[in-house]
Amino acid sequence: MRPPLILLSLLLPFSLLPRAHGRGELRAFVVAHSHMDVGWVYTVQESMHAYAANVYTSVVEELMKGKQRKFIAVEQEFFRLWWDAVATDMHKQQVHQLLQEGRLEFVIGGQVMHDEAVTLIDDQILQLTEGHGFLYETFGIRPQFSWHVDPFGASATTPTVFALAGFNAHLISRIDYDLKADMQKNKKLQFVWQGSSSLSERQEIFTHVMDQYSYCTPSQIPFSNRSGFYWNGIATFPDPPKDGVYPNMSLPVTDTNIHLYAQTMVANIKERAAWFRTSDVLWPWGCDKQFFNASVQYSNMDLLLDYINKHSDEFGVTVEYATVGDYFQAVYSRNLTWEIRDSQDFLPYSTEPFQAWTGFYTSRSTLKGIARRASSLLYAGESFFTQYVWKHPASSICKCGALRQLQSLRWAVSEVQHHDGITGTESPKVKDMYMNNLMYGMFNVKKLIASIILDMNNAKKNRDVYSSVYVKDSGIPGATDVDQYVVVYNPLAWNITTFVTVSVSHLAMSVYDELGHSVPAQVQRSAESHSTYDLHILVEISGLSYRKYNVKPLNGKQSAFIGRSVKYKRKDITRADQQSQQLLPVTNNCYQILFDQTTNIMHSITERETNRTVQLTQEFLEYHVNGDVMKGPISDNYLFAPNASAVPVSKAVGLEVVSGNLMTEIRQYFYSNVTSQDYIYAVYTRMYTVPEGYDGKLLCHRIEQEYSVGPLELNREAVLRTSTSLNTGQLLYTDSNGYQIQKRPFKAYVNNTVARNYYPMVQTAYIEDDTTRLMLLAERAHGVSSQGNGQVEVMLHRRLWNNLQWDLNYNLTLNDSSVVRPVIWLILGTKAVTSVLYRISGLALEHRPVVMFGVLSGDKPKLRGQLQQNSIHNSHVTVPPNLHLQTLSIPGWRYSSNHAEQVRSIRMGKQKESDADFSRVLLRIRHLYEVGEDPVLSQPVTVNLKSLLKGLGSVMAVEERSLTGTWNVNALKRWKWKTAQYPSKGFSNSTETSENCIVTVHPKEIRTFFVYFQGQ
């Protein structure tokens, strides 16, 4: 969403503007760029056809015509589509030449310009790695600067990711309007950002915040009613105009207006110079969908820059075409001392008092959920395939085809991280594009996992293995009198004990493991369907391993436990008599939850170890929002603008408790009144009781909740508010991209206080008092807030329509009539206990086991000795509990990890010939804890990579790399910017490197390696 900027200064007469500060000449860096959304209003295909392909074709051709001309390219998805399908051999040669000459510069270099508020760090890294791998393989270049000009607020995780990727400087734009004004006035738009408090100066990065004009060229010019500096006009959809005449093309530069153009440009350069400490001025030239006709752009700007430089004495300014790197190099060489910013982020983001961009934290919840599921399936598929390649060298599966299946999901998950993708701020057809690409990629990876299982079990090829990721998609198909197998893969590098759920058509079932031993399970009628049952199987699986379970219709004795249901009468909560309170207890080894039977609502939770009881109630409320711009501020895809406090939605609650030996499920149904036929909201709360002999610590300590919300009425925003007796002082904590925690004190504003106190929860949020903490863990992003002492509310769903013409023109009104089913896990306990549990539990929720089912014929129970064959389910990979195996994959890149060699082979044209490289394994290990967070788990951890990976084969060599793999860490020398803390400028080496495959990982580090195994 790009609100118009009010550019009063451009209308001032030139003589009234200050001269160049008395610091000698100002030097303006004119950075030509086109902001190309990978999605948003138009699909990628529509954009390629209407303008994006023309941008690269015409820019490359025009850069060749003038040695002084330059351009920056940002999003790789469009560039790669152009390179593969449009560019001629001549264009490709020219791109290589322009890169060598430094006149074309790739900045960021990821597939997209990722959103910063609602994305997971793993997915930020994935999309960056995808783009960087292509650029290094194709050109031997490695981006070193960011250009994060459009994400809606700035996270502290992104600068850390960019520093780890080897960037020398970071650039952002959208931060709170009042904060930007203040920083501008005090010349504080540039600083050194220590995005991670634990990594501090080791991964700090110089950061530039764009001034109030942001990334678009100021377009109002005093001598014309057309825009200025946009000589190619505005892109048209669906087709480019046949006559080449576009709407709103700026007046061509002529002898009669060149002085007026020059005055306007110089005035703007001087205005901006006053907001920065050096006489170097960044002057972005471009905006959304620009440079589709680069010829008319450059031919006009050439004249203008020449004119200003010929009269530089008069103007006090010189101007030049530049890249972002040129600008930062100039600022760096000034050798100034910069202020340090700590790990505080720039969220939330407001553009004016009633425009808080906090609605998108929840917009299109279904897309947010599918994007995360796709990411998790990709994570599982990558490690499953990597193990298969190294353990089964003589496999029957085509490795190149398998890699293409994984690449289709890598591409789709990368694409949706775009700042108008996972944010939910796109038009419906673009949402459909993301969904289709994600579903296609997920289908491919499920197919790959199934074919690997079939191959390793030597199953007959005419039998299908069906797959279901997180189980609710489908059940065991077909006949019920045949032995059915459930294959469960644990994608985490820890041993897990958890439940998986499959739908079955009978109540009487038995479950057996590979040895024919009975496995604990519970079956009960499904909450969602009257004709099926949910079979919950207790699984115990080593790290990165799979197990097979045999599910049979009952043959007598060892059946699954049956969950028994008790339904309670629907209660009118408006007339509840608090005097005659009757409390219904539901208990496991960790918690006792009491439900108030006069209302059927949760009353309190007791944490049994400390015997601490917290009063805790949950209710659904809705914010009613305005959709008429004539009546005040509106909510839309981006903005949240409530016109009053949230209103409770239900007057009556129904309750059903399904209890069995392994789990109890409490089903609450919320009705608009006592006589309503249909409920609008439901909560399914699950508590587990783990039998003796199983490690039930994580299962016991979590209260799982699944919600059903919708369809909503128009202009309603639905929240779940949890109110507790904790004395929190309205202090909330939320995670930043699943990487670190941010403190969120409640702030009072003159206007819009509710919306401006909403924050993104990507994975975690919590409230606490002196002794006790209540944690919420999520499997998709939500907006979250603490609007009262002891309260935390999570926005679950939004449905909006408004009459703002801009929203209507682009179909951005968010009329989302879906039913959403998000999941949140609650953990209650002491700070010490919860800080140990929540990181592992958050990852256990993110990466739930992959469940596949089907008929594997002729498979009899094995003897224990037979299980030790060469397969994925015995050679597990396990890391210590404070580390996370973040990546284990075969990228398939064909580049040499020796930089000189890589550059040489590109110059000789050898790159094109080779096939995908299956010998290089990409490994990332992340330390989960902050410095000082836990006395034990915050310690550095030493890992022997050879013994960690011995299950895959014999490790021959390990190279430590930068985050996206393109730098050898020993060769990576990032610019060290001067600060009061570190007065000398220079280069910083990122990390101590590993010797003999033994690595020490410090708090919050993410270490990246290429691993090579002995060939088999």
Beta bridge partners of 595: 584, 602
Question: Contact, 741 vs 734, CB < 8 A?
Answer: yes
Q: Is 11 exposed, middle or buried (0-12, 13-18, 19+ CB in 10 A)?
A: exposed
Give the DSSP letter string of 40-85: TTS-HHHHIIIIIHHHHHHHHHHHTT-TT--EEE--HHHHHHHHHH
Q: Measured between alpha carbons, how far is 763 from 368 in angstroms, rounded to an integer?
A: 12
Provide CB contacts within 8 A for 854, sequence distance 6+: 450, 463, 464, 465, 466, 477, 484, 485, 487
**Span between the terminal Cα atoms of the chain, in Å:** 54
Q: Which token pair is 139? A: 């050109």
Provide CB contacts within 8 A for 420, sequence distance 6+: 37, 38, 39, 40, 426, 430
| CA distances (Å), origin 733, targets 744, 774, 839 | 6, 11, 14
Q: Which token pair is 980? A: 């009061």
Question: Contact, 844 vs 698, CB < 8 A?
Answer: yes
**DSSP-assigned letter for residue 166:** T
Please name which of 102, 66, 91 lies closest in space to residue 300, comparing C-alpha atoms: 66
Catalytic residue among 115, 122, 150, 513: 150
Q: Which token pair is 32? A: 């030509």
Q: Measured between alpha carbons, how far is 434 from 38 in angstroms, rounded to an integer?
A: 10
**Tokens 């293995």 identify what position?**
465
**Tokens 């002898």 identify what position?**
255
| CA distances (Å), origin 69, targets 59, 90, 264, 310 | 10, 19, 21, 18
Quick check: is 178 catalytic?
A: no
Strands 317-322 and 26-32: parallel
**DSSP-assigned letter for residue 968:** B
| CA distances (Å), origin 2, targets 40, 149, 420, 536, 802 | 12, 12, 12, 48, 17
Q: Measured between alpha carbons, how far is 899 from 911 in angstroms, rounded to an integer?
A: 13
Give the DSSP letter string of 366-420: HHHHHHHHHHHHHHHHHHHHHHHHHH-TT-SS-HHHHHHHHHHHHHHHHHHTBTT
Catalytic (active-site) positions: 150
